């Protein structure tokens, strides 16, 4: 009987593996082997760990859909060989990458755990070791021969979250992430406690499918008091624009000026998909609750409900490649596909 879980650890870049360039004082990516030498504890883990590194590790600000696909293809190629995957990634855009991957993989039946750190692994006060070691342990959890976690997770500072529910909330604190609309999937203290009822339940009869194509002809339009007609017009006139994530106030409210609604209405009639997400850190869009969101609903703006902006980006890029009619796009966007919305 197989006892040890096999884990593939993939280094894509990020602070965890960075070192200070003493000429410039800036942090830059360094050699993955050196990173591993800094964590002799890995040998103490009960799992079999194999490692792989991006040829040119990235600061995650340089991550993009090509990089997402590179991670996804690495997982896909190795899917049958390993019980779980741990992806080391910069924290800056980790929620975007991890959310996108959750949509790119349909019928995921194994854990893909993203982690990173606020301080490099070589730093005396680093948070990297705990994040990495516990992520590996989580990826290796099994019950009756099946993985306990079967979704894309993000582990940081003692908490495992559903990745597509997360957002980076702090550039300095070790607790850099939050999942404001969904409780953590697991918490690490003296014991590792997994909240089993909150986990994604995969359909294990279905085969893993990787959706490779994403459409990045989208933009995020963040509303602010005083936004002008020319700004909105200019942004929504971008050539080839297919989707807009409209970051609105509160429960999905925006100015109900005629000029604003007319621009949106016209663009929607020309095929633009517009999704309403809230600027609030927590809570949900409820179009129709106020007069200032009633019209948005009437003209065909899609509700992002309690989705994060990060997950909305991934979901939109994924759905735009499916050539859906406006009606079907709306129905599917408003449905939870990977646990990303209530
Ligand atoms: N700039 C770094 C990155 O996102 C920050 C980090 O890793 O925490 O790659």
Q: How far apart are CA 299 and CA 260, in angstroms?
A: 12
Residues of the chain with pLDDT under 70: 1-2, 30-31, 34-35
> ∠329-162-251 over CA atoms, to 5°?
55
15 close to ligand 1 (CB < 6 Angstrom): yes
15 is catalytic: yes
Q: How far apart are CA 70 and CA 89, in angstroms?
A: 13
Q: How far apart are CA 96 and CA 166, in angstroms?
A: 9
Provide the 3-class DSSP secondary structure of residue 138. Answer: helix
Residue 176 sits in the same domain as residue 305: no
Beta strands at 27-29 and 152-156: parallel, antiparallel or unpaired? unpaired
Name the closest-CA residue to atom 1, ligand 1. 59
Q: What is the pLDDT of residue 2?
A: 59
Q: What is the pLDDT of residue 27?
A: 81
> ∠90-95-96 over CA atoms, to 5°?
95
Residue where the block lists tokens 């993955």: 32
> ∠208-214-219 over CA atoms, to 5°?
140
Nearest-Å Rg of the Cα atoms of the chain is 21
Q: How far apart are CA 239 and CA 271, in angstroms?
A: 13
Q: What is the pLDDT of residue 30?
A: 67
CATH label of the domain that carries residue 302: 3.40.50.40
Q: Does 14 map to a domain?
A: yes
CA of 99 to the centre of ligand 1 (A): 17
Question: Final residue of a domain: which of 157, 181, 210?
Answer: 210
131 close to ligand 1 (CB < 6 Angstrom): no
Q: What is the pLDDT of residue 38?
A: 73
Residue to mutate, 14, 97, 157, 167, ligand 1, most ligand atoms under 8 Å from C-beta: 14
90 close to ligand 1 (CB < 6 Angstrom): yes
pLDDT tens-digit series, residues 57-95: 999 999 999 999 999 999 999 999 999 999 999 999 999
CA of 15 to the centre of ligand 1 (A): 5
Q: What is the pLDDT of residue 137?
A: 96
Ligand 1, closest atom to CA 58? 9
pTM: 0.96
Around Cβ 114, how many Cβ atoms within 10 Å?
30
Q: What is the pLDDT of residue 114?
A: 98
Residue 184 sits in the same domain as residue 92: yes
Q: Does 12 map to a domain?
A: yes
17 close to ligand 1 (CB < 6 Angstrom): no
Name the closest-CA residue to atom 7, ligand 1. 90
Domain count, the chain: 2
Q: How far apart are CA 108 and CA 96, in angstroms?
A: 18
Ligand 1, closest atom to CA 118? 8
Q: Which residue out of 15, 93, 278, 309 is catalytically annotated?
A: 15
Residue 21 sits in the same domain as residue 160: yes
Residue 111 sits in the same domain as residue 198: yes
Q: How far apart are CA 320 and CA 117, in angstroms?
A: 33
Q: How far apart are CA 251 and CA 289, in angstroms?
A: 8
CA of 294 to the centre of ligand 1 (A): 40
Residue 199 sits in the same domain as residue 301: no
Q: Does 182 map to a domain?
A: yes
27 close to ligand 1 (CB < 6 Angstrom): no
Domain span at residue 22 reads 6-210
pLDDT tens-digit series, residues 187-241: 999 999 999 999 999 999 999 999 999 999 999 999 999 999 999 999 999 999 9
Q: What is the pLDDT of residue 274?
A: 98
Indicate if the alpha-carbon torsion angle 160, 111, 216, 67 is positive or negative: positive
């Amino acid at each position: 009987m197989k006892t040890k879980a096999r884990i593939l650890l993939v280094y894509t870049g990020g602070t965890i593996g960075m070192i200070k360039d003493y000429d410039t004082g800036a942090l830059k990516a360094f050699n993955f082997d050196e990173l591993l030498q800094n964590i002799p504890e890995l040998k103490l883990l009960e799992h079999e760990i194999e490692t792989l590194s991006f040829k040119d590790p990235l600061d995650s600000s340089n991550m993009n859909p090509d990089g997402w696909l590179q991670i996804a293809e690495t997982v896909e190629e190795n899917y049958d060989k390993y019980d779980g995957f741990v992806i080391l990634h910069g924290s800056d855009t980790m929620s975007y990458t991890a959310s996108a991957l959750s949509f790119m993989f349909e019928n995921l039946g194994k854990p893909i755990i993203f982690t990173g750190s606020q301080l490099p692994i070589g730093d005396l006060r680093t948070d990297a070791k705990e994040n990495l070691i516990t992520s590996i342990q989580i990826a290796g959890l099994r019950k009756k021969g099946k993985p306990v976690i079967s979704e894309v997770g993000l582990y940081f500072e003692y908490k495992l979250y559903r990745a597509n529910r997360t957002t980076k909330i702090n550039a300095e604190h070790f607790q850099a992430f939050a999942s404001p609309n969904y409780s953590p999937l697991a918490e690490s203290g003296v014991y590792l406690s997994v909240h089993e009822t909150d986990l994604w339940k995969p359909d294990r009869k279905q085969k893993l499918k990787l959706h490779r194509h994403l459409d990045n002809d989208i933009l995020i339009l963040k509303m602010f008091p005083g936004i002008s007609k020319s700004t909105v017009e200019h942004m929504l006139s971008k050539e080839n624009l297919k989707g807009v994530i409209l970051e609105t106030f509160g429960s999905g409210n925006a100015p109900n000026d005629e000029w604003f609604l007319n621009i949106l209405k016209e663009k929607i009639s020309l095929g633009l998909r517009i999704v309403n997400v809230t600027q609030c850190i927590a809570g949900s869009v409820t179009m129709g609750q106020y007069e200032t969101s009633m019209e948005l609903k009437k003209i065909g703006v899609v509700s992002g409900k309690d989705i994060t902006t990060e997950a909305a980006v991934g979901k939109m890029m994924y759905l735009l490649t499916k050539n859906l009619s406006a009606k079907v796009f709306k129905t599917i966007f408003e449905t939870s596909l990977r646990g990303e919305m209530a």
